Amino acid sequence: MGAVWHVSYGCVLGVGWPLVGTSIAELTTMRLGGPAREYQVAGDTEALVEMVRQADSDSVPVLVMGGGSNLIVGDGGFDGLVVRVASTGLRIDGELVTVDAGVEWDTVVTASLDAGLAGLEPLSGIPGSAGGTPIQNVGAYGTLTSEFLEMVTVYDRRTGELEQWSNDRCGFGSHRQSVFKHSDRYVVLQIVFRLCATGRSRPIAYAGLAEKLGVRPGDDAVAKDVRSAVMELRRERAMVLDREDHDTWSVGSFFINPVLSEVPEKANECPRYPDPAGIKLPAAWLIEHAGFHRGYGHQWGRGTVALSSKHTLAVTNRGGATTDEVMRFAAHIREGVERRFDIRLGPECKLVNCSFA
């Protein structure tokens, strides 16, 4: 067995992102959403389970959230209990990293690298907390969290039991999917990752990252160098949270890459990638080639919602936007893509009390 590391961290949105009262907008990276009827912070796993269990017993609706980086709530807010997960445990034992759901995700990446463990470095800088990673099967630069997930502990709200699930029970496979994504039945409490004590990355699959590192696709690199390159790429695309930069007032990728059994004739020129469920197409390409350029939207409506000036997948709050405006803008983009390519885009983020259907 290797050395055992014990680290305790809080889950925060980042410097300059304070929690104010019960306004859900102050708890999310897109800064949208009305008030919560009740709001509590769960500082540890036991408190989290008890808060959810008590609310379920009292028939009070519950919204469990972490860093708020993949969540949009309606302007009317949430008529129930909002629980922010702020559990802090992080333990490294050899090649195993055990982390509570509330720990900031990038803290998990940096702590692993500092312990000499490689694997998660392509996922550097992704906002949010660790508990969201198995839900979304978070991925970037050719790497998915499911590739390293050994076990996840969940609270089953239906049975009232705590369960430990192995990777193959989580329903990973198709792009950004899991058993947890479209169900509120399970609350993620803790995750165990198995990494590699080599200090070097896996083969670099993403051409842009290989170019930034000065290596060929398929080569490996020093894991900490990969992190530095990834952070540089993310900053170039305004994908690192910055209170002063409205391009970062988003949920990251708003639209999910569609996975189809057959590509419509109108989209024959679109790049395509294999997926266990069919053929994956890049939503960013579809949006841009439907006529929506980077920065599109400043003349749309009140000018409070627009695509990022850095990439077309991010719908951004330019300041003072409402959730209703964001939903109408997203519907506008989706309709344009559907007219052009006969492909209907869907959201990658979680929508609560709002819709652009």
d(CA 41, CA 181): 22
Structure tokens at 185: 């039945």
200 is catalytic: no
Residue with tokens 């680290």: 7
d(CA 295, CA 291): 12
- Which residues lie across from 259 on neighbouring strands? 280
253 is catalytic: yes
Residue type, 40: Q
**Of 127, 128, 130, which is closest to residue 112 (Cα–Cα)?**
130
Give me the catalytic one of 95, 288, 325, 348: 348
d(CA 202, CA 222): 10
Give me the catalytic one of 176, 227, 294, 334: 176
176 is catalytic: yes
Is residue 317 classed as helix, strand or coil in its secondary structure? strand
d(CA 83, CA 237): 31
DSSP states of 229-292 as a string? HHHHHHHHTT-S--TT-GGGSS-S--BPPPEESS--GGGTTS--EEETTEEE--HHHHHHHTT-
Give me the catalytic one of 87, 250, 253, 308: 253
| Number of residues written out for the chain | 357
Q: Which residues are catalytic?
A: 176, 253, 348
